[in-house]
Amino acid sequence: MSTGRKRVLFLVPAFAGGGGGAERVISILLRHLDRTKFELHLGVIQERSAVFQDIPDDVIVHDLRVSRMRYALLPIINLLWKVRPQTVLSTVVYLNVLLVLARPFLPRVKLLLREATIPSAFIAQQARHPRVWRWFYRHLYKRADSIICLSDFMLKDLAEQFGLPQEKLIRIYNPVDVDYVRRSAESFGNPYSGDGPHLVTVGRLQREKGLDVLLEAMPGILQAFPMARLAVLGEGPLEAELKAQIRKLGLGESVNFLGFQPNPCPYLKYADLFVLPSRVEGMPNALLEALALGKDVVASDCPGGVREIQDAVKSMVLVPPEDPQALAEAIIAALQSPSSSRTGEGLGRFKVQTAIAEYSALL
């Protein structure tokens, strides 16, 4: 290349209706990677989502506009021959599988897969064809040059459960851009009305996020704090089922579904407590953002990266997953005795500068 810069292509699904944690991490990388070293391209498989509205102008964006992920194989192959990157980084499992399937038909390229979930939990809780997905992880992922794991827990899961070579597994924590989060939190005022206290949770409305467990905990919380309100930020397939659960529990207006929010930071800043009731978590971005804003946190001690965040910040309250009573008791205790503000304390290993250095060395 005449510029001496390395051409890097990031591939993301960017599902219509909102971007998830994987897309938010890629957005951070695109903002912070050194332009003197990298020429940055972004391949968006489906419709571009709101999370990408702040992508720098110098990033070359390729909108493939594929209607469904299953039809993306040929467009991905064509894109790589058009861009001819030296490195391609893919994220989320479905896209990772497509890319390794396409590898025999691609130009010479360094192939990096960023795993966004705990594979064994994904197979147990989400995958329609568990044996097929187990085979994908065990045999197809070996075609990648490196696999980025978001936690030591995830790395161990891939090595021990699927036999992937340790030398291909690299742990890089999700970054939290503390300054950006704080600026974003100031973009509008307090979104809550009433005295509260106000609880907030952020995540896709699917089983592994455990919102049903938090709803089961709400009657006990309301006994102690009758004016408590829960804001739910996210969309997903279980929305109707969860709303039916709210009616069954008689929670009335104490729970509000606010949909996907491109900027959740003001909701985090003005909440009295952030709650993460998940059954499994890769490396939860919303939790890191809440900690960057100095919020008190109650989270489930679920498989994944939550325990590694706790080991760093030493300030969260962890409860057993799928235990509504323990969750309610911890939330009540946290609301009764809020801690002093600790904006970003202990987040050094998750700060954006750390991740940028690690990704730059790998790309």
Domain spans of the chain, in order of start? 6-175+351-362, 178-346
Whether the predicted pLDDT of 93 surpasses 90: no
Q: Does residue 197 have a cis bond before it (omega within 30 degrees)? A: yes
**For domain 178-346, which CATH number applies: 3.40.718.10, 3.40.50.2000, 3.30.2130.30, 3.40.190.10?**
3.40.50.2000
Architecture of domain 6-175+351-362 in this structure: 3-Layer(aba) Sandwich (3.40)
- What is the distance, to the nearest Å, from the Cα of residue 44 to the centroid of all Cα atoms in its chain? 17
Whether the predicted pLDDT of 198 surpasses 50: yes
b/e burial code for range 221-247 (CB count within 10 A of at least 16 → b): bbeebeebbbbbbbbbebbeebeebbe
Domains 6-175+351-362 and 178-346 share a fold: yes
The one-letter amino acid at 186: E
- Position with higher pLDDT, 192 vs 22: 192
- Which tens digit of pLDDT belongs to each residue from 288-304? 999 999 999 999 999 99
Q: In what order do the strands lie in the sheet with 229-233?
A: 255-259, 229-233, 198-202, 273-276, 297-300, 317-319
Greatest mean pLDDT among 60-69, 123-132, 211-220 lies in 211-220
